[in-house]
């Protein structure tokens, strides 16, 4: 693919353009003309006569579980891509590869065989690299649940199962943020390692905006589908939003030690540019207000005893929330 060079000499200006691109692309179809722009933006390179400047919101890290590992790869302004590796076969899947070149650097360095793309939803800060990565790796299986996802060739629906090497993956339909949103639940063959890739449905301490769905749908996604996963399931979400999410959580439940402890830990991690990912389902149930709408403390904050009304209240309040000291 040829690159478009823009006369942009300031990183801050460049990042602002990227932010605007990501926002405006949320409801826009990716066209061939836009592809190099988003990829260029994704690469966050300032193209001047000086050497390329790389921007990264976090350091790249690795989670080693029994029989599988997850490379946490930062992307764009605050997105994460995840390279899931089956230790037995060295087959790998990539979740939301918005920066394909960065993904392929890790794939090549780790000497794994990339066989699948797991797309959580169509927003271009998640699916915007699909069209390019299928040109870089032959025969890639591109999973997803939305015709707006580029290069999707393996449509999945709720509870569909497939393998990545010895790892079993189950698609969980969680419509609300987008109507076709899928979370991917992964288990090792002996069922001892578990992870769920939650895109923009569940964040650490929060959840995605209800762009194409209702409070009832988010309640179903968070409090029924995801809450029913084993408590030790690791949660890998689509964005680094943890500190702000927990600031809001401490407004909802100011007396919560779980919120305070995780917020302090998250601030410390972010001060070193370290990801706050993963959490676990048990942890989320202890501090994430959107997963706690059946709890008395959260319901009292929302002045209701109805979990669905509490869900709607929290989303609306958080959307207008003024974050202290940010």
Q: Total number of residues binding Zn ion (CB under 5 A)? A: 2
123 vs 262 by CB, closer to Zn ion:
123
Alpha carbon distance 69, 193 (integer Å): 10
Distance CA 73, CA 94 (A): 10
Catalytic, 123? Answer yes
Between 200 and 253, whose beta carbon lies closer to Zn ion?
200
Based on the residue annotation, tell me whether 177 is a catalytic residue of this protein: yes
CA distances from 315 to 159, 160, 216, 299 (A): 27, 30, 12, 13
Strand partners, 235: 196, 279
Q: Which of 63, 99, 200, 217 binds Zn ion (CB under 5 A)?
A: 200
Alpha-carbon distance 25 to 188, whole Å? 35
Q: Which of 71, 86, 122, 177 is catalytic?
A: 177
Q: Does 69 bind Zn ion (CB under 5 A)?
A: no
Is 190 one of the catalytic residues?
no
| Among 107, 93, 279, CA closest to 186 | 93
Q: Give residues with Cβ within 8 angstroms of 260, minimum separation 6.
A: 250
Interface with Zn ion, residue 239, by CB under 5 A: no
Is 123 among the residues that bind Zn ion (CB under 5 A)? yes
96 is catalytic: no
Catalytic residue chosen out of the listed positions 86, 96, 122, 126:
126
Q: Which stretch binds Zn ion (CB under 5 A): 121-129, 167-175, 264-272, 307-315?
A: 121-129
Distance between first and last Cα of the chain: 39
| Shorter beta-carbon distance to Zn ion: residue 102 or 126 | 126
Stretch of residues binding Zn ion (CB under 5 A), selected from 9-17, 197-205, 245-253, 255-263: 197-205
Rounded to the nearest whole angstrom, what is the least distance from the CB of residue 240 to Zn ion in the complex? 14
Phi, psi of 232 (to 5 degrees): -85, 5
Taking the least distance from each CB to Zn ion, the nearer of 110 and 212 is 212
Question: For the stretch 80-103, what's the b/e string if a residue is b when 16 or more beta carbons lie within 10 angstroms of its beta carbon?
Answer: bbbbbbbbeeebbbbbbbbbbebb
Q: Does 240 bind Zn ion (CB under 5 A)?
A: no
Whether 139 and 114 have beta carbons less than 8 Å apart is answered as: no
How many helical (H) and strand (E) elements, i.e. helices and strands, does the chain have?
11, 15
Q: Is 181 a catalytic residue?
A: no
Nearer to Zn ion, 213 or 275 (CB): 213
Q: Which residues form the catalytic set? A: 121, 123, 125-126, 177, 200, 239
Residues that bind Zn ion (CB under 5 A): 123, 200
């Amino acid at each position: 693919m040829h690159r478009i060079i823009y006369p942009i000499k300031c990183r801050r200006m460049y990042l602002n353009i990227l932010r605007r691109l990501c926002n405006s692309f949320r409801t826009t179809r990716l066209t061939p003309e836009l592809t190099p722009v988003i990829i260029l933006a994704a690469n966050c390179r300032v193209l001047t006569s000086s050497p390329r400047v790389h921007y990264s919101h976090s350091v790249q890290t690795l989670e080693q579980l029994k029989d599988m590992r997850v490379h946490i790869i930062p992307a764009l302004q605050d997105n994460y891509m995840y390279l899931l590796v089956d230790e037995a076969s060295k087959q790998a899947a990539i979740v939301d590869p918005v920066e394909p070149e960065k993904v392929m650097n890790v794939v090549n360095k780790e000497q794994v065989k990339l066989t699948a793309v797991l797309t959580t939803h169509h927003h271009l800060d998640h699916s915007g690299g699909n069209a390019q990565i299928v040109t870089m790796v032959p025969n890639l299986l591109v999973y997803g649940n939305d015709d707006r996802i580029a290069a999707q060739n393996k449509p999945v629906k709720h509870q569909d199962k497939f393998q990545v090497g010895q790892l079993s993956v189950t698609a969980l339909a969680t419509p609300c943020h987008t109507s076709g949103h899928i979370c991917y639940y992964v288990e090792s063959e002996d069922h001892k390692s578990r992870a769920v890739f939650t895109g923009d449905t569940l964040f650490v301490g929060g959840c995605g905006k209800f762009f194409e769905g209702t409070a009832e749908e988010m309640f179903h996604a968070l409090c029924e589908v995801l809450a029913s996963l084993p408590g030790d399931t690791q949660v890998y979400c689509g964005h680094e939003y943890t500190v702000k999410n927990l600031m809001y959580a401490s407004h909802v439940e100011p007396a919560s030690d779980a919120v305070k402890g995780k917020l302090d830990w998250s601030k410390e991690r972010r001060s070193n540019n370290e990801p706050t990912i993963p959490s676990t389902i048990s942890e989320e149930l202890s501090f994430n207000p959107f997963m706690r709408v059946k709890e008395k403390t959260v319901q009292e904050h929302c002045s209701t005893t109805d979990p669905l009304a509490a869900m709607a209240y929290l989303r609306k309040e958080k959307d207008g929330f003024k974050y202290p000291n940010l």
